Amino acid sequence: MSLLVVGSLGIDTIETPFGRVENVLGGSATYISTAASYFAPPVRLVGVVGDDFPGEYLQFLENREIDLEGLQIDQGGKTFRWGGKYHYDLNSRDTLFTELNVFEKFTPIIPESYRKTTYVCLGNIDPDLQRKVLEQISRPRLVVGDTMNFWISGKMDSLKKTLKLLDVLILNDAEAREMTREANLVKAAKSIIRMGPKTVVIKKGEHGAMLVTEQTIFSAPAYPLETINDPTGAGDAFAGGFVGWIARTDDLSESNMKRAVIYGSTLASFCVERFSLDRFKDLTYLEIQDRFREFRELSRFDEDLTSS
């Protein structure tokens, strides 16, 4: 089944308590499409970069079987750049700079060959742009969308229009609370479902992720890692693993959605082990399957009522 990813591509400068890197590959579409490529290649990507975007980064994406027909390269323009510094617990960060550059006037143009794509994943771009993408797609089977606090606080009316077009919304716990003014995440998810999406996935960082529908609440743990260097892009890697697995299996059942959450958490757990997308340079499908099985064991237990 075909999968389309639309979002940002960027060049990041990242500092954590465990190191610092400059001018590394970043952007929501980059992380989503890279994670998804392990399950549903070739992944179709739509985004924009300047002519300063390094050729080695284009080669990395092509090596991951990411179709770049939809990538706009703005001659004479500069690529979106972001810099951030994480605090010691890695749950909070300071944005040091944001340079939108060519991304400021990005208008997604979906190539004709992409317009019958079965599965669509919209990164956390302007909700107006998310709707423009969907206007160019012919009856996708599933639309997964992401958002961020910037759009929640600044363009909520537009975001509500987009939510009516989404099947699945993925967001983090702080964003869910901000969007709904609900402290309880289950209540927040149910409130978002009433806005349009049939399924809401709330990422809770080191506390895992939760999938909520009208009928189901499913909570998955986070993988207990000993080495975490850089949390940048982990949420996007989660989204890529989630939608990539669904596209691979072409199965929208509730049980498969739960598996997709675990696969999303699996890809996110690999992402944070190194800076930028470096872990994906040597990550294998076998390693993903091994960690998926370890995830299942984390939550499995034998019930023995007689022993008490």
Q: Among 227, 240, 230, which residue's Cα sits nearest to residue 288? A: 240
Enumerate residues 6+ apart whose C-beta is below 8 A from 8: 27, 28, 29, 30, 47, 80, 103, 106, 123, 125
236 assigned to active site: yes
Sign of CA dihedral 166, 167, 172, 178: positive
Buried b (16+ CB within 10 A) or exposed e, 232-242: bbbbbbbbbbb
Helix and strand tally (H, E) in the chain?
Answer: 10, 13
CA–CA separation, 265 and 270 (whole Å)? 9
Catalytic pick among 12, 52, 236, 251:
236
Task: Give catalytic residues, as residue numbers.
Answer: 236
